[in-house]
Amino acid sequence: MIDLKRLENDYDNLSAELKRKNVDLALLESIKEKVYEAKRLRRELEDRQAAQNRLSKDFGVRKANGEGTAELGAELIENKGAIAALSELLRVSESELEMDALNLPNPPDFDVPNGVDESENVEIKRVLEPRKFDFEPKAHYDLGVDLGWLDFERAAKISASRFTVMRSFAAKLERALIAYMIDFNESRGFKEHWLPVLVSRKSLTATAQLPKFVADLYLADTGELPENDLFLTPTAEVPLVNLYFDEILRGEELPLKLTAHTLCFRKEAGSAGRDTRGMMRQHQFDKVELVAIAKPEESDRLFDEMVACASDLLTSLELPHRHLALCAGDLGFSAAKTIDLEVWIPSENRYREISSISNTRDFQTRRAKIRYKDGKHNHLAHALNGSSLAVGRAMIAIIENFQQKDGAIALPKALAPYIKM
């Protein structure tokens, strides 16, 4: 969540920043008006409460002196009713303000390139050269089906489209990649976690998947009240950040560097017709995540470290990839800055996203109330997240980049200790 004080004290700069992220400034203006309305109601309520205290004292003095209190008593009753009415108005006003504010995205950092959509993202560099094939490379789904490793028809029979049954080599490769990614991240100082994949409405709100992206989430029907709803996690970012929900950490504990593998679940509500063949865009997928909780002065260094970790992981798997700086219009809702890593997919003759590393600054930590104590004062921490990596997409890249003319699949040398055929 953004700092609402900026609406009062720095509105022009804030509106200019959010405009770069394609935000409708009518929403921002509406929230600003609600901030002032809540402030007015709170001031009026405090005045009424102060008046009630004075009236109560006067009432007590008059009663003790045997003076008439009827008129003063009536005024007390009237003022008490006004206090109750104002309290309810303020509660409703602040509730509406909070709900509206939850729909405002994080402003982009000043050095994020301008741009409206993904067509204006900026390539930073390329790592490794794509392989030159002396035959026509096949797509992963053709190779996988031909060799009996991938079964989309039976997956659809069990569940629906955009699910996959993996067997034999594909199943072993998925398991090997997860283990290798976790070990690699641990070698870079990220501590492994095993997490629940059911997460609460509160947790999803803290990391900003709710209320904005409810259409992409799978709700587990627990028969509980809505506030007790549980959802299938869309990314390990959600449980990892929420490990520290409403906590005050010791400054010397930071930075916290965390990694985890989870199954992830997304409805992909906005992707109808896109990547319908194969494993590129699934409702259920494995992902290994990086998360850091840091002091503000450390977060830029941690961001660079996380980008390097994910990129070096791809390099160790001998996969050509490139770094993209996302423009303001293509940034995710909670991100202040994002670097995407895109891996080379031979069958498509192009790069495809396999990792996004984002610095959310204090946007998520403000919602999650994650603070740290530095001396006598508490400060909001910064939260960062990044996929390292999307496992299914790494498998796609390996199958396609390491395919042989006879249909066999070679393997990156780094995976040799992790997979036995």
Give the 3-state secondary structure of residue 173.
Answer: helix
CA distance 72 to 18: 52
Position 78: which residue type?
A: E
Contacts for 263 with CB less than 8 Å, ≥ 6 apart: 197, 233, 284, 285, 286
Q: Which residues of 336-352 are buried (b: 16+ CB within 10 A; e: fewer)?
A: bbbbbbbbbbbbeeebb
* Residue 107 CB-half CA count within 13 A: 20
- H/E element, 245: none
Sequence-distant (6+) residues with CB within 8 A of 174 are 166, 286, 391, 392, 395
Distance CA 106, CA 333 (A): 6
Tokens found for residue 158: 């069990």
Q: Which residues are catalytic?
A: 266, 281, 353, 356, 393
Structure tokens at 184: 């690699």
